Amino acid sequence: MDSAAINSFIPTLDQVDSWYEIFTLLPILIALELLLSADNAVALASLTKSLDSSELRSRALNIGITISLLFRIILIILSNVLLKFILIRVFAGFYLIYLFFSNVFLNSEIENPEDGTDNNNNFRFLRVVVLLSITDFAFSIDSITTAVAISDQYILIIFGAVIGVLALRFTSGIFLKLLDIFSRLETAGYIAILIVGIKLLLNTLIKESILPDYYFYILILFAFIWGFSKKESKT
């Protein structure tokens, strides 16, 4: 649901007469982005769990989300060309589904915390940065497609993407701490990834949507409720 808030406001923004009117909408846009970026934020925070320290996790988020923002801007600018390639959306959907299965069911093969050599730590850090960049980009494809279809005001769409990324970075930092408190929240983040991946594939491959989008958002909400239902046991 990341960057979805800006989509509903684009028709309003198209009609404003001055930058002053746009800035009056900023608090609402930021508040909505903070709420709607939750699923993406949990997913990205979960991807950093294999890193050894909070400093490395924060640095990986900063780099990965910044790279993803560049990808978003490129996609928006070249949307008339890139979004015509259905394989981009199909790849993003299958990638998110793969990410769920690889981390939930094959997690033991991915993480190897006992091997603490510098080369392996550097490789793990770079791997997490790449995963963060691609995952956030895949999350954003659906909302960018919708935004571009609604409006040709690319400056406003990019403006919304920047707000979304700033909100995402803020909420990701919060969820980094919450992951250490709630034992099911990491899995809930990957369930959100799975749901978004399935939604992206269905919206791409089936012209008439089987389920309204809000059904998927309700499923994500239930996943979060489950994720917050159990705290880590203190020993």
Rounded mean pLDDT, 17-39 = 57
Q: Quick one: pLDDT at residue 126?
A: 92
Q: What is the residue extent of each domain of the chain?
A: 4-227
Residue type, 57: R
pTM of the model: 0.74
CA distance 13 to 161: 14
Burial class (CB in 10 A: 0-12, 13-18, 19+), 63: middle
Say yes or no to pLDDT of 2 above 50. no
Rounded mean pLDDT, 22-44 = 64
> Is there a contact between 153 and 50 (Cβ–Cβ < 8 Å)?
no
- Tracing tokens 């190897």 back to the chain, one arrives at 112
Say yes or no to pLDDT of 93 above 50. yes
> Is there a contact between 11 and 150 (Cβ–Cβ < 8 Å)?
yes
Distances in Å between the Cα of 31 and the Cα atoms of 25, 93, 136 are 10, 27, 20
Q: For the ranges 30-34, 82-86, 131-135, 164-168, which has the lowest average pLDDT?
A: 30-34
**What average pLDDT is seen over the chain?**
75
Q: Between the ranges 3-7, 25-29, 78-82, where is the mean pLDDT highest?
A: 78-82
Torsion angle in degrees (nearest 10) through CA of 207, 151, 42, 136: 80
Q: For the ranges 20-24, 66-70, 138-142, 149-153, which has the lowest average pLDDT?
A: 20-24
